[in-house]
């Protein structure tokens, strides 16, 4: 247990919270945004699974690597369809399995039977060539053709639904001795939530990706990267001559690359910057879900390799985060400070209620944050997020993604008002997660109008603050001391700021453009 912190002092003076300096730790392997988002190393391919809708799914297996997922979307013609082709070996016979239809539906299917594998392979390769205009042998350099299907990269598991979480320590497949879970009840529930497959599915369904029915399998990081490439093409095409036709064509390309389930509705045209930003956010969420599932699969593999005694699965998931979470006593003054900060800045809309608060200590983040010891002007600020990316944030920290952006450019966004950050929270069963981070702002550059071109703070500045027309009453701010540094914490209700009455921002937004300038301090589990 970490030493209990004392109450923070008001500006006028008083007690200050102290914390012991920490021991530097080895560097984290997931600190690079690009690694975490697009390709954090070679992707592990699992064994291909026979399509669950095939009658041979229980008795057969995919022959070698003859298995593909194809997709084709055409906005103008209201096409949004898939094609599955597999060679299946079962009972000394060889089969080609074809299934096709609209994304999100089971569709139609056909099973052909052959005596020899060569015959089945020949049939598979012919169908692949007919549908894609590519040779199967050249699939590593696949080229998409107009009016034909595109090959979709998947992770080796045809079924996008990961196996049901095992939280009771019983897998049903072996007799290994699974140790009891060592986590406290609240932390156990949190870990179960942020690694929950049901939660991931819920998040993806909200993005029109129905993974329960979607026959295309789980998208790979490579496929997500291709999606970003198409969005960049769409951005470049906006405002040009013949733009409408080109945007419809590129929208078809995007939905072909990243399959969506629109039911029987026509796929929409991506024709505004707002839609592009939403699709970028969707892809970043998918990448973080992929990261969380990768962590989970690594812990499952580690358990399989153990001989007799294995840790509880939730302990394994917790360990994979390389992040210490310490549940905070609700009677402590620190908890009361956080609770006050939430209540006075929550606004009149969502009114979140604290379920639990954890102190966060990410491995190596303290060492990285210490690079900014010379920066003063530190504040404890809000950051809201999708619950589906919480595991990735705990593992990799708050990151500046290569494709991210916003009203104040490509940086990490914080707010001094909970209501502002709460707008970015995506819940699961009315439960959401928010972070409080210590942010080393240093010298602030104040702006009152949008500037989406920013990728770093202006010369001689360390951060950018888009000042809002209201701000938590500065006279009510208090200071706490974290690792020897004074950190201000708002405790007053938002009040008008006459000097910024003409600002384009209602609530202030605090931007840093270096990941090392922030450190996660608290995780709040909220009832929204």
525 catalytic, yes or no? no
Residue 124 lies in a domain: yes
Residue 279 lies in a domain: no
State the CB neighbour count (10 A cutoff) for residue 222. 14
Same-domain pairing of 518 and 469: yes
Q: In what order do the strands lie in the sheet with 79-90?
A: 108-114, 93-102, 79-90, 61-74, 150-151
Which of 273, 295, 311 is a domain's end point?
Answer: 273
Same-domain pairing of 132 and 240: yes
Residue 424 lies in a domain: yes
- Contact present, 486 and 16 (Cβ < 8 Å): yes
Same-domain pairing of 411 and 476: yes
Same-domain pairing of 394 and 514: yes
Residue 284 lies in a domain: no
Q: Which of 153, 249, 417, 509 is catalytic?
A: 509
Same-domain pairing of 267 and 391: no
Of the listed ranges 141-145, 336-340, 437-441, 468-472, the least confidently predicted one is 141-145
pLDDT interval class at 363 (50, 70, 90):
very high
Distances (CA, A) of 179 to 2, 149, 303, 316, 371: 25, 49, 11, 11, 40
Residue 347 lies in a domain: yes
For residue 143, the domain's CATH number is: 2.20.140.10
* Backbone φ, ψ for residue 515 (5° rounding): -60, -25
Strand (E) or helix (H) holding 362: strand 353-362
Tell me what pLDDT residue 175 has. Answer: 57
Same-domain pairing of 133 and 229: yes
Distance CA(133)–CA(148), nearest Å, equals 7
Tell me what pLDDT residue 261 has. Answer: 87
The yes-or-no verdict on residue 1 having pLDDT over 60 is: no
Tell me what pLDDT residue 240 has. Answer: 86
- Contact present, 438 and 487 (Cβ < 8 Å): yes
Tell me what pLDDT residue 48 has. Answer: 78
pLDDT tens digits along 210-246: 564 443 346 577 888 889 999 999 999 998 887 899 9
Residue 71 belongs to domain spanning: 61-161+211-273
Tell me what pLDDT residue 219 has. Answer: 59
Distance CA(60)–CA(277), nearest Å, equals 43
Distance CA(388)–CA(204), nearest Å, equals 9
**Residue 29: HSE in the Cβ half-sphere, 13 Å Cα cutoff:** 8
Number of H helices, E strands in the chain: 12, 22
Tell me what pLDDT residue 90 has. Answer: 94
- Contact present, 357 and 338 (Cβ < 8 Å): yes
Tell me what pLDDT residue 141 has. Answer: 92
The yes-or-no verdict on residue 196 having pLDDT over 70 is: yes
State what percent of residues in the chain have pLDDT above 70. 85
State the CB neighbour count (10 A cutoff) for residue 100. 18
| Residue closest to 71 by CA, chosen among 4, 6, 153 | 153
Tell me what pLDDT residue 27 has. Answer: 35
Residue 77 lies in a domain: yes
Same-domain pairing of 251 and 366: no
pLDDT tens digits along 399-457: 997 777 789 999 999 999 999 999 999 999 999 999 999 999 999 999 999 999 999 99
| Residue closest to 488 by CA, chosen among 9, 31, 43, 115 | 9
Please give the full DSSP string across 485-498, using - where no structure is assigned: EEEEE--S-EEE-G
- How many domains in the chain? 2
Give 192's contacts (C-beta < 8 A, 6+ positions apart).
165, 167, 314
The yes-or-no verdict on residue 352 having pLDDT over 70 is: yes
Same-domain pairing of 357 and 258: no
Residue 116 lies in a domain: yes
Same-domain pairing of 241 and 379: no
Which of 258, 273, 288 is a domain's end point?
Answer: 273
Same-domain pairing of 20 and 120: no
Pairing of strands 505-507, 468-472: parallel
Distance CA(58)–CA(210), nearest Å, equals 24
For residue 72, list its beta bridge partners: 81
Same-domain pairing of 85 and 233: yes
Q: Quick one: three-class SS letters along 434-472?
A: EEEEEEECCCEEEECCCCCCCCCCCCCCCEEEECEEEEE
Report the pLDDT averaged over residues 296-324. Answer: 86
The yes-or-no verdict on residue 31 having pLDDT over 50 is: no
Tell me what pLDDT residue 20 has. Answer: 42
Same-domain pairing of 71 and 21: no
Distance CA(399)–CA(33), nearest Å, equals 6
- pTM for this predicted structure: 0.79
What's the mean per-residue pLDDT of the chain?
Answer: 86
Report the pLDDT averaged over residues 372-388. Answer: 97
For residue 506, the domain's CATH number is: 3.90.228.10
Residue 458 lies in a domain: yes
- Contact present, 81 and 72 (Cβ < 8 Å): yes
Three-class secondary structure of residue 505 per DSSP: strand
pLDDT tens digits along 233-289: 999 999 888 789 999 999 999 999 888 888 889 999 999 988 998 999 899 998 898
- Contact present, 439 and 517 (Cβ < 8 Å): yes
Tell me what pLDDT residue 218 has. Answer: 60
Tell me what pLDDT residue 115 has. Answer: 93
């Amino acid at each position: 247990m970490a030493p209990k912190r004392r109450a923070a002092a008001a500006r006028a003076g008083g007690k200050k919270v102290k914390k012991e300096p920490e021991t530097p730790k080895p560097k984290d392997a997931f600190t690079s945004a690009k690694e975490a988002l697009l390709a954090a190393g070679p992707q592990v391919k699992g064994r291909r699974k026979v399509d669950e809708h095939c009658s041979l799914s229980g008795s057969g297996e995919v022959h070698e690597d003859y298995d593909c997922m194809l997709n084709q979307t055409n906005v103008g013609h209201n096409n949004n369809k898939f094609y599955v082709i597999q060679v299946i070996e079962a009972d000394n016979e060889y089969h080609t399995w074809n299934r096709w239809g609209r994304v999100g539906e089971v569709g139609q299917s056909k099973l052909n039977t052959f005596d020899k594998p060569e015959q089945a392979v020949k049939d598979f390769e012919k169908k692949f060539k007919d549908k894609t205009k590519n040779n199967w042998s050249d699939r590593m350099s696949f080229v998409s053709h107009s009016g034909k299907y595109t090959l979709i990269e998947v992770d080796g598991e045809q079924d996008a639904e990961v196996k049901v979480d095992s939280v009771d320590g019983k897998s049903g497949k072996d007799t290994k001795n699974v140790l009891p879970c060592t986590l406290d009840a609240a932390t156990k529930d949190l870990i179960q939530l942020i690694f929950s497959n049901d939660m991931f599915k819920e998040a993806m369904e909200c993005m029109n990706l129905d993974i329960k029915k979607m026959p295309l399998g789980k998208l790979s990081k490579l496929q997500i990267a291709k999606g970003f490439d198409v969005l960049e093409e769409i951005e470049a095409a906006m405002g040009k001559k013949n733009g409408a036709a080109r945007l419809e064509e590129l929208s078809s390309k995007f939905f072909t690359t990243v399959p969506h389930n629109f039911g029987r509705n026509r796929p929409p045209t991506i024709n505004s910057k707002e839609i592009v930003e939403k699709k970028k956010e969707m892809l970043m969420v998918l990448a973080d879900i992929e990261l969380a599932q990768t962590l989970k699969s690594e812990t499952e593999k580690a358990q399989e390799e153990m001989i007799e005694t294995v840790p509880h699965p939730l302990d394994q998931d917790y360990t994979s985060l390389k992040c210490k979470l310490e549940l905070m006593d609700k009677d402590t003054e620190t908890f009361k400070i956080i609770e006050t900060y939430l209540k006075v800045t929550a606004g009149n809309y969502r009114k979140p209620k604290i379920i639990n608060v954890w102190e966060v200590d990410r491995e190596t983040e303290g060492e990285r944050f210490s690079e900014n010891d010379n920066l003063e002007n530190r504040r404890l600020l809000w950051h809201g997020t999708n619950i589906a990316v919480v595991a990735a944030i705990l593992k990799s920290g708050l990151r500046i993604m290569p494709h991210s952006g916003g009203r104040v450019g490509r940086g990490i966004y914080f707010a001094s008002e909970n209501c502002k950050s709460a707008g970015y929270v995506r819940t699961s069963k009315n439960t959401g997660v928010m972070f409080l981070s210590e942010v080393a702002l240093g010298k602030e550059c104040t702006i009152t109008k949008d500037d989406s071109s920013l990728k770093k703070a202006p010369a001689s500045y360390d951060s950018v603050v888009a000042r809002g027309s209201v701000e938590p009453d500065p006279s009510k701010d208090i200071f706490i001391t974290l690792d020897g540094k004074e950190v201000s914490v708002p405790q007053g209700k938002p009040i008008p700021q006459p000097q910024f009455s003409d600002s384009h921002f209602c609530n202030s937004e605090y931007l840093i453009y270096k990941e090392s300038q922030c450190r996660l301090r608290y995780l709040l589990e909220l009832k929204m």
